[in-house]
Amino acid sequence: MHKPCPPPDPDPRTPLLAVPAGACDCHFHIFGPAARFFYAARRSYTPPDASVEDYRRVMAALGLQRCVIVQPSVYGTDNTCTLDAMARLGPDCRGVAVIDETVSDTALYDMHQAGIRGVRFNVLYKGGVKISAVSAVAERIAPLGWHIQFLLDGRGLADLADDLGRLPVPIVIDHLGHAPAEIGVGHPGNQALLALVGEGGCWVKLSAAYRLSRRAPGYEDTAPLARALIEAAPERVVWGSDWPHPSVEGAMPNDGDLLDLLGVWTDDATVRHKILVDNPAVLYGFP
């Protein structure tokens, strides 16, 4: 059964945080129109349409200039919707695709020219590529300078850290590690995440705090880990909205509130500039 998803908040609040020029949302999705871009039969949820035009309104409300679209699990390895959205959003947009080891060299080249800069492995939702393909995919994308992005349950990260650290490409961990905030910074999974980030070669997205927290709408229980990650490697963390918040549990977040969390997690404007502008430029190849 495919879980239906509610639409995002139609009125994103302008954040209180002063957003620097060139600020980037490093994690969002586009869905539909469903009549044109068909969802995979094997999927965990069915989202409502969330269009490029809808997302442009979010960018305008939040004061963002750049963005990184992430291929969602409901499309499997068919990146057509993502690539179409990237073309419409223009040169200030980059993308993260979903592929397997059978992808052709021509397809990889075309995706690179379109602005794809990474590959996502989603091991939490149906439609993702099996984790067993990671090594083969990493070998294929290494010459392009791409990275591999993981959506996983961070509580098990200590068991995966050595294997991830040996991949021949940078890695990016979604959503603050995607573990319940209540486990605390001292949990072995979070300690493994901090070690990976601190050693280099690993990046983390400061995104989707609402997925980890039991304390909406302020998500205060996510602050200790977010602050620890920023302190461990302020040059290897980026921010993402996770718009339009597919398969959300509980109240739908407002994107202005999510961006304002950065002001809670660090009061250093220079560090926030790194997170919103400098770090995305390095990771995704923005000029």
- Name residue, tokens 């229980």: 221
In order of 73, 99, 157, 176, the CA distances from 130 in angstroms are 12, 10, 17, 22
Nearest to 281 by CA among 18, 24, 17, 20: 24
Whether 163 sits among the annotated catalytic residues: the reply is no
Q: Annotate the chain with three-state secondary structure.
A: CCEECCCCCCCCCCCCCCCCCCCEEEEECCECCCCCCCCCCCCCEECCCECHHHHHHHHHHHCCCEEEEECCHHHCCCCHHHHHHHHHHHHHEEEEECCCCCCCHHHHHHHHHHCEEEEEEECCCCCCCCHHHHHHHHHHHHHHCCEEEEECCHHHHHHHHHHHHCCCCCEEECHHHCCCHHHCCCCHHHHHHHHHHHHCCEEEEEECHHHHCCCCCCCHHHHHHHHHHHHHCCCCEEEECCECCCCCCCCCCCHHHHHHHHHHHCCCHHHHHHHHHHHHHHHHCCC
Q: How far apart are CA 163 and CA 150, in angstroms?
A: 13
Nearest to 186 by CA among 194, 178, 174: 194
Catalytic residue from among 242, 255, 260, 278 = 242
Residues known to be catalytic: 242
